[in-house]
Amino acid sequence: MSTLNVLSTKRLKTTLTEQLKEAGISLTEKDFIRIDPAANDEAIKQFVDSINIDAYVIFTSSNAVDAIAHHVKDVNWKVFCISGKTREAVREKLELEIIATADTGVELAKEIIQHGVNDVIFFSGNIRRKELPQILYKAGVMVKELTVYKTIATSEKIDKNFDGVLFFSPSAVRSFFSQNQLSTTTVCFAIGNTTAKEIQEYSSNKVIVAETPTQEAIINKLINYYKSSVQL
């Protein structure tokens, strides 16, 4: 049978591209968003320095961890974060205590409330979903937020039909569909439920969600899907 063709809307780890190749899947990689650090790095440093050393902090993206990691020293912050890549970044680059993790912002907000936290610091990007801070505000939790990176769309027209498309964030979904449509037979693979919901705003195609929000999980989901539905 013909080779399966898959588009990834972000560059993947080399180990994962090799895994797809070994499975007989042809991969095309294009970045549909670009991450830029916030313009005023000195302002970020001053903000970080002003935070209580025992503060509770929130990370919903590994990009936020990357943006502040070189400023963080001699603190005992207690961290609430999204699982997967964000949790890995906190462990590797900040080495701080993680109080709780969750797969979505809504679930993470519930964890924060259940732990009885009164105020938190939220490091975020310029484009972020509203649910987490809204739930916390409604519960009486004070949220101090700092934008530490920017997400910029880098959309382009794709003149080819793919058997599957991998999506890793709502921002990448919006960027992709700003110039592209999917064939009715294309299967979408989402890294999480929030990304899946964004896909459904633009397309009625089949959407399959990774078990956990990691590149490894979404690649395993894709390979297993095609193994069960076609002969690789």
* Confidence check: pLDDT of 1 > 70: no
Q: What is the pLDDT of residue 151?
A: 94
The mean per-residue pLDDT over the stretch 131-150 comes to: 96
Q: What is the pLDDT of residue 228?
A: 84
Q: What is the pLDDT of residue 131?
A: 94
Reported as a single tens digit per residue, the pLDDT across 145-176 is 999 999 999 999 999 999 999 999 999 999 99
The mean per-residue pLDDT over the stretch 203-230 comes to: 92
C-alpha distances in angstroms, 152 versus 31, 94, 95, 192, 214? 11, 25, 29, 20, 21
Of the pLDDT bands very low, low, confident and very high (cuts 50, 70, 90), residue 114 is very high
All structural domains of the chain, each given as residue ranges with its CATH number in brackets, are 4-32+154-229 (3.40.50.10090), 35-151 (3.40.50.10090)
Of the pLDDT bands very low, low, confident and very high (cuts 50, 70, 90), residue 230 is low
The mean per-residue pLDDT over the stretch 24-40 comes to: 90
- CA dist., res. 187 & res. 162, Å (int): 8
Full-model pTM: 0.84
CA–chain centroid gap for 213, Å, is: 7
Largest Cα span, the chain: 61
| Residue pair 25/223 in contact by the 8 Å Cβ criterion | yes
Please give the mean pLDDT across all residues of the chain.
Answer: 93
Reported as a single tens digit per residue, the pLDDT across 14-30 is 999 999 999 999 999 99
